[in-house]
Amino acid sequence: MQLLTWNTQWCLGLDGQVDVARIVQRALALGDVDVLCLQEIASGFPTLAGAPGDQPAQVQALLPAGWQVFFGAAVDAWTPGGRQRFGNLIATRLPVLQVQHHPLPYPADAAVSSMPRMCSVLTVRDEALGAVRIMTTHLEYYSRVQRMAQAQGLRALVLEYAAHAAQPAPPGKPDTPFQPRAHTPHAILCGDFNLQAHEAEYALLAAPLSPQEAGTWAQPGGVPLHDAWRVLHSATPQPPTFCVFDQRFSKSPIACDFVWVSDSLKGHVCAMHIDGQTQASDHQPVLLELG
C-alpha cells in the first residue's frame, strides 16, 4: 500500500500558476499510489492567487477511472459571491468502508489571524493489510495556542478510534444510521503539522500512553503513534518539506509534513520518499510505502 501526502497551497506553484493537473500528475508519478492526501484544497475563493476554481471536482476529473474523492472543508463560508470552502482532500482507488470529518479544537487567540482546522478520516480496505484508517490534517500555522490544542485533539481522536477497535459496540442494523462500523487498529495520520520534530506538539503526538489514556484496552507505556520516518531512519533527520525553494516563512528549509503510523502498522513500514525537486507547491510531497 502506498500513500502520498502533500500540502498543495491550493495547487499554486512557485511559478505563480495554479495548476491542479500538475499536482495530480506529479503525485501519481512518484509511485504506485493507492491513497492521495492533499491539504489546502480550495473551492470558491476567486481572490486567492491564481483564482482557484472547484478543486475537489477538478481533482476527481483528473484522476483515473475507479478513484473516489472525499473533501473535508475546515473553512466553509457563505458570502455574497457564493460558497467558499478550504480544507483537506483524500482520494483513493481502494474500497472505502467509512468516511468521517472531525473539527479540531479552535481556542481563541486574539494575537494572530487564524482559521479553523479539521481532520478528515477515510477507512479503506487494503488487500494485504485489511481495513486501514487514513487520517489527514493541517494544523494552525500562526497560533501556538491553537496548534497545541489541535495536537491534543488529534491524539485524543487517535485513542478514541483505537478504543472502538479494541471494544467494538454490538453491530446495528444495516442501512440505518446504526449500521456496523469499520473499526480497525491500523491507522495512518499524515499532513502538514506546521511544527518541527524538536517541538512540544511533536513530543505530545509521540508520547507513550499514560495510565489514564491506556484505560482497559492497552498497556500504559505503549506508543499509539510512530513517526514513520524515524521507524526507518532512527535519529537521522527527515529531509525538509517546507521552504526548500521559497524562504518567505523560514530562511532555512524545515520538515513539518509528517506521516505517523499506529503501533499495529509499525512493522509494515517499508519505505519513505520526500520529493525534494518539485516546485508545484511551496511544500514537498511525502510518499509512504507499507508492506
- Predicted confidence at residue 220, as pLDDT, reads 84
The sign of the CA dihedral 283, 96, 175, 158 is: negative
Report, as an integer, the average pLDDT of 89-116.
Answer: 98
How confident is the model over 146-176, as pLDDT tens digits? 999 999 999 999 999 999 999 988 888 889 9
How confident is the model over 228-268, as pLDDT tens digits? 999 999 989 999 999 999 989 998 999 999 999 999 999 99
Rounded Cα distance, 263 and 84, in Å:
38
Report, as an integer, the average pLDDT of 54-75.
Answer: 98
User: pLDDT at residue 4 above 80?
Assistant: yes
Nearby residues of 209 by Cβ (< 8 Å), 6 or more positions away: 159, 218, 219, 220, 221, 222, 223, 224
What percentage of the chain carries pLDDT values higher than 70?
Answer: 100
- Predicted confidence at residue 27, as pLDDT, reads 98
User: pLDDT at residue 217 above 80?
Assistant: no
pTM of the model: 0.97
Question: What CATH number was assigned to the domain covering residues 2-168+182-290?
Answer: 3.60.10.10
- Predicted confidence at residue 189, as pLDDT, reads 98
- Beta pairing class for 82-92 and 118-126: unpaired
- Domain ranges in the chain are 2-168+182-290
- Predicted confidence at residue 218, as pLDDT, reads 81
Cell digits for 286?
Answer: 511525502
User: pLDDT at residue 180 above 90?
Assistant: no
Task: Look over the chain and give the mean of its residue pLDDT values, rounded to a whole number.
Answer: 96
- Predicted confidence at residue 37, as pLDDT, reads 98
- Predicted confidence at residue 235, as pLDDT, reads 87
The sign of the CA dihedral 164, 94, 222, 193 is: negative
Least confident of 45-59, 216-230, 236-250, 267-281: 216-230
CB 190, CB 258: distance < 8 Å: yes
- Predicted confidence at residue 99, as pLDDT, reads 97
The sign of the CA dihedral 136, 142, 145, 148 is: positive
User: pLDDT at residue 129 above 90?
Assistant: yes
Report, as an integer, the average pLDDT of 136-142.
Answer: 98
Q: Count of CB atoms within 10 A of residue 175's CB?
A: 7
Which residue blocks in 127-224 are alpha helix, DSSP H?
144-166, 200-206, 211-214
